[in-house]
Amino acid sequence: GKVAKKLAKGSNLKIDQAAVIGAGIMGGGVAYQSAFRGIPAVMKDINQDALDLGINEADKLLAKKVRQGRMSEEKKAEILSTITPTLEDKDLNGTQVIVEAVVENPEVKAKVLADLEDHIGEGGVLVSNTSTISITRLAKNLKRPDKFAGMHFFNPVHAMPLVEIIRGEETSDETIADVVAYSLALGKKPIVVNDCPAFLVNRVLFPYFRAYELLIRDGLDMYRIDKVMETWGWPMGPAYLSDVCGIDTIRHCQDVLATDLPDRMSLVEPSVMDALYQQKRFGQKTDTGFFSYQ
């Protein structure tokens, strides 16, 4: 806490408006959290359905607070009105923090990030919510790599305190200070980490998913492993966690890691994640993954 507050003192950025690119699980969550904490958020996607879903999720979270008597209807409406869904890049203009949260694909992200640079407001910063891709690598085609960092939120964004802030080779101290300040404004607990594929938390989580896949390959019942982990006391087991994260996203992350950390993170074959992925059973987002949510 103290370290983060001290770092944030180095920031001179006044954040009047943030933006998220990608209105999915993570982008939608960051837009909600920003609006909830009083920072208006533009939410951009290429798909109108994703924007509708993003607004819907924010509405549900706020409606729960109203039901619990913790928020008025007026306040709820006011907060919702500060999330601006859009399909147009021009609506991003003048934003001080842009959070990229599109699909976990290095080529797609590199292109999206390069396009975004032109829309950042004076002195503003660009961050990526990538789970696994090196920030230095993503910065390669940027004009201002000093103004770029990783800002890795956890799912669900509104409930998870931790945010990893990743310093790429060219990220400036000022940019780190700005991103720490934004994290604190969102009510989060930031830690600053050096750059490498998967950063810190996902170097713990992805070997866990991999170990789980190896156990299934060895013939263990995939649902019993979840039961054991829950009985141990973990809030959920690996199968349920995969459904929450999105099996498509996990598969994309595994591909990045198999390439970038090959001696630690080679693909498991046959892979239960891949079997579900091929069947488009992506978890809660498609109503079916390891479990069914219909």
Q: Does 164 bind ligand NAD (CB under 6 A)?
A: no
Which range touches ligand NAD (CB under 6 A), out of 62-70, 140-148, 211-219, 241-249?
A: 241-249
* From candidates 82, 155, 259, 284, binder to ligand NAD by CB under 6 A: 155
Nearest residue (CB) to ligand NAD, 82 versus 155: 155
Asked if 102 is part of the footprint of ligand NAD (rule: CB under 6 A), the reply reads: yes
Does position 171 bind ligand NAD by CB under 6 A? no
Q: List the x/- string, 43-72, binding to ligand NAD by CB under 6 A.
A: -xxxx--x----------------------
Is 152 a residue of the active site? yes
Nearer CB in complex with ligand NAD: 47/72: 47
Angle between helices 201-217 and 238-245 (to 10 degrees): 120
Write b or e for each residue in 196-225: b if 16 or more Cβ atoms lie within 10 A of its Cβ, otherwise e.
ebbbeebbebbeebbebbebbeeeeebeeb
Using the rule CB under 6 A, give the single segment among 12-20, 129-137, 173-181, 286-294 that binds ligand NAD. Answer: 129-137
Comparing every residue's Cβ against ligand NAD, the nearest one is: 24
Q: Nearest distance from residue 219's CB to ligand NAD, in Å?
A: 28
Residue whose CB is less far from ligand NAD, 36 or 154: 154
Minimum separation from the CB atom of position 143 to ligand NAD (A): 19
**Using CB under 6 A, which of 18, 19, 22, 276 touches ligand NAD?**
22
Give me the residues paired with residue 97 across strands: 18, 125
User: Measured from the CB of residue 75, what is the shortest distance to ligand NAD in angstroms?
Assistant: 26
Task: Kindly determine how many residues on this chain lie close enough to bind ligand NAD according to the rule CB under 6 A.
Answer: 27
Instruction: State the minimum distance, in angstroms, from the CB of residue 99 to ligand NAD.
Output: 9
98 binds ligand NAD (CB under 6 A): no
CA dist., res. 69 & res. 92, Å (int): 34
77 vs 103, beta carbon nearer ligand NAD: 103
State the amino acid at position 43 in one-letter form: M
The three-state DSSP-derived secondary structure of 203-239 is HHHHHHHHHHHHHHHCCCCHHHHHHHHHHHCCCCCHH
Least CB distance from residue 208 to ligand NAD, whole Å?
Answer: 14
The CA distances from residue 73 to 67, 70, 89, 109, 276, in Å, are: 10, 10, 31, 38, 41
User: By CB under 6 A, which span of 1-9, 16-24, 137-145, 226-234 interacts with ligand NAD?
Assistant: 16-24
Catalytic residue list: 152
- Chain residues binding ligand NAD by CB under 6 A are 21-27, 44-47, 50, 101-104, 112, 129-131, 153-155, 245-246, 249, 253
